[in-house]
Amino acid sequence: MSKKRFEGKVVLITGASTGIGKATAFDFVREVAKLALATRSKNKLDRVAEEIKRYTDEVLVVPTVVSKPDQVTEKVSEVINRFGRIDYLFDNAVSSNVRNVEEDDFIDNVKKKFEVDFLGTLYVTKSVLPYMSNQGSGHIMNMSSVVGKKAYPRFRGYSSLLHAMPSDFTRMPKAVSKVFEVKFKELAGHSLKNWHVLFSLK
């Protein structure tokens, strides 16, 4: 039997308990990958992990609030302790609530989404990147949406944040690269790739 593309590869998926994150986890299971599943709710993750364990025991549950950088660092370390490396990061954690700008809680909602959707992505990527650099390889996929390209009614805050999502390390503005604290020239020669994945509801 031919070897699967991701066989033996370690994949960390945030937002893994439902929707695209959960579906992606099962796609990687079919490719015989080793999985680390992250989201806020341990109960939801446990249910997904139980389904996955019908096919493989190579699954780790790491309940994580991605807007808390210290917790992110701790959970990424748990993944490294279990599997020894991280080959793929599928960064899919988002706060999907939307509001009209006229609503009283619009600003508070945008602030919350900024902490999860934008800063959360930076925190997870920043924590994973040093391990991938030491490995000399790695792939980072930042999930986004076509809503980040075009705003729709009720999606103003959501669209703004997804538009701000980084799409490629080498094209990041200096302000963002400082958040990562990465000197890109030091990564020369390493096989590190970043993907910006867009999805559409149509």
Query: Active-site positions?
Result: 158
CA 163, CA 118: separation in Å to the nearest integer? 10
Contact predicate 91/143, CB 8 Å = yes
Give first-to-last CA distance, the chain, whole Å. 37
The amino acid occupying position 46 is D
In three-state form (DSSP H/G/I as H, E/B as E, the rest C), the secondary structure along the chain is: CCCCCCCCCEEEEECCCCHHHHHHHHHHHHCCCEEEEECCCHHHHHHHHHHHCCCCCCEEECCCCCCCHHHHHHHHHHHHHHHCCCCEEEECCCCCCCCCCCCCCHHHHHHHHHHHHHHHHHHHHHHHHHHHHHHCEEEEEEECCHHHCCCCCCCHHHHHHHHCCCCCHHHCCHHHHHHHCCCHHHHCCCEEEEEEECCCCC
